[in-house]
């Protein structure tokens, strides 16, 4: 059974990370990419937001009795297959588990322009998934 207090704490942290990400997008791409404080703040908070979404998703999957996903990418796919997230929302967040791996493991290859573009295109989907989770918990 899912520990509600644990998931509530993760959701609260997730809201904070998403709020910080909103603030980093108040800057245009030139300022974002030129300022290490801004882009590193965005990168870290994006990593942590994705981590929270994966962790909460894993809890939801475990609570429903489905087999444990074999990879991070499988978490979002399993949630789609279970009907927890729609196919449309899945397409909005697809690729974020792989991007999390880049942020964690290949951080020297991070392209700040790419981070900015990903935030602009994927942040709405991440927020939507957070809302779906909040309704479930």
Which residue ranges form the domains of the chain, and what is each CATH number? 4-136 (1.20.120.580)
Tell me the mean pLDDT in the region 11-38. 98
User: What is the four-CA torsion angle of 41, 53, 131, 126, rounded to 10 degrees?
Assistant: 50
Residue 136 is predicted with a pLDDT of 87
Q: For residue range 19-28, list pLDDT tens digits in order.
A: 999 999 999 9
**Count of H helices and E strands in the chain?**
7, 0
pTM of the model: 0.93
Predicted confidence (pLDDT) per residue in 95-124, tens digit: 999 999 999 998 888 999 999 999 999 999
């Amino acid at each position: 059974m899912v520990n509600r207090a644990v998931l509530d704490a993760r959701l609260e942290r997730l809201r904070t990370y998403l709020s910080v990400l909103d603030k980093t997008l108040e800057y245009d791409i030139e300022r974002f990419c030129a300022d290490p404080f801004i882009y590193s703040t965005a990168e870290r908070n994006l990593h942590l937001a994705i981590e929270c979404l994966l962790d909460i998703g894993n809890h939801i999957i475990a609570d429903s009795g489905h087999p444990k996903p074999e990879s991070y990418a499988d978490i979002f796919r399993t949630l789609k297959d279970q009907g927890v997230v729609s196919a449309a929302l899945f397409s909005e967040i697809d690729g974020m588990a792989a991007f999390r791996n880049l942020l964690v493991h290949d951080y020297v290859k991070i392209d700040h322009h790419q981070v900015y573009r990903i935030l602009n295109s994927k942040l709405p989907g991440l927020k939507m998934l957070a809302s779906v989770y909040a309704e479930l918990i």
